[in-house]
Amino acid sequence: MTIRLGYQIPNFTYPGVPVENLFDTVAAQAREAEASGFDTVLVMDHFYQLPGINTPDNPMMEAYTTLGALAASTSTVQLSTLVTGNTYRNPALLAKTVTTLDVIAKGRAILGIGAGWFEREHHDFGFEFGTFGQRFERLEEALTIIAPMLRGEEPTVEGKWYTARGAMNHPRLRTIPIMLGGAGEQKTFRLAARFADHMNIICDLDDLPRKVSVLRQRCEEIGRDPATLATSFLATGVVGETDQEVKELDATLDDARRARAFVGSPAQVAEKIQEKVLGAGIDGICINLIRNGHRPGVVTAVGQALKPLVTA
């Protein structure tokens, strides 16, 4: 498993598209990504739309239901969340869920996972939020259940947060790869070094070279070859056919998202990604096209521009 070129779909608000046709628009993007060289399609694991994209009452589809439907709508792309909020599901159930997705998709699932952070979702849906430290304690404990189950083992864990008693996981095709997402140097990177096959780094571009260096250090601290932990970077693409369109799309982003965005034509975006991301030592790119990815042809243009950068 490797993610060299991923297409993330974080937005389900499509002007003029009624609810009954919403998934059709999502599936069309996934198929366009598959046809244009993307190797992975990813969705967010949220219940509300995020600040910086739109208001909380905008459409947000449940992640694993969506991925299951995408498994039947595609044939080659890997499928993952970017990333699952650990706090939203019992870990043994999550292992079962992603394993079932993998069976349906004939071996194309990746488990993307993180500690969870969107407090309002927890409050409104009745999930315990806890402190920052507690959420990472829960993530670490969850992974001691999930990772063995993905390998076909039957873990027994009597933990502070979770319990599993010989939890079985059938049917199962293979050992599903684990991807962590985030940028925390003390907690996330240490867990990635210990448990993950892939680390998706989410940070401002200016911080990326240092993050790569620290992640390698975390691997070395436990005797792991850093080359065995693949990496990718989550970017927002602000891509338009004209300078005016690019300017208008860029104006819809808040400052935080703009610090991780690539603005311009597909060729210009590709050039900047080559310099700022791949040049920093990252293996691959996951890109979203929040404002216009649903428009036919946009994903294709971006995929064609980016694919040569990540093709060995």
Q: Where are the domains of the chain?
A: 5-310
Predicted local confidence at residue 169, as pLDDT: 98
Per-residue confidence in pLDDT tens, the chain, 312 aa? 589 999 999 999 999 999 999 999 999 999 999 999 999 999 999 999 999 899 999 999 999 999 999 999 999 999 999 999 999 999 999 999 999 999 999 999 999 999 999 999 999 999 999 999 999 999 999 999 999 999 999 999 999 999 999 999 999 999 999 999 999 999 999 999 999 999 999 999 999 999 999 999 999 999 999 999 999 999 999 999 888 998 888 888 888 888 889 999 999 999 999 999 999 999 999 999 999 999 999 999 999 999 999 986
Predicted local confidence at residue 181, as pLDDT: 97
Which tokens is 1 given? Answer: 């498993």
* CA 3/CA 87 separation, integer angstroms: 25
Which of the 8 DSSP states describes residue 47? S
* CA 174/CA 246 separation, integer angstroms: 43
Which tokens is 80 given? Answer: 């993952």
**pTM for the predicted model, two decimal places:** 0.96
Domain 5-310 homologous superfamily, CATH: Luciferase-like domain (3.20.20.30)
Nearest residue to 64 via CA among 47, 45, 50: 45
Q: Is 37 left (phi over 0), alpha (psi -120 to 50) or beta?
A: left
Which tokens is 221 given? Answer: 């601290």
Residues 6+ apart with CB under 8 A from 16: none
Predicted local confidence at residue 1, as pLDDT: 59
Nearest residue to 127 via CA among 49, 135, 64: 135
Helix (H, G, I), strand (E, B) or coil at 246: helix
* CA 249/CA 128 separation, integer angstroms: 36
Predicted local confidence at residue 304, as pLDDT: 97
Predicted local confidence at residue 241, as pLDDT: 85
For residues 111 and 79, the answer to whether their CB atoms sit within 8 Å is no
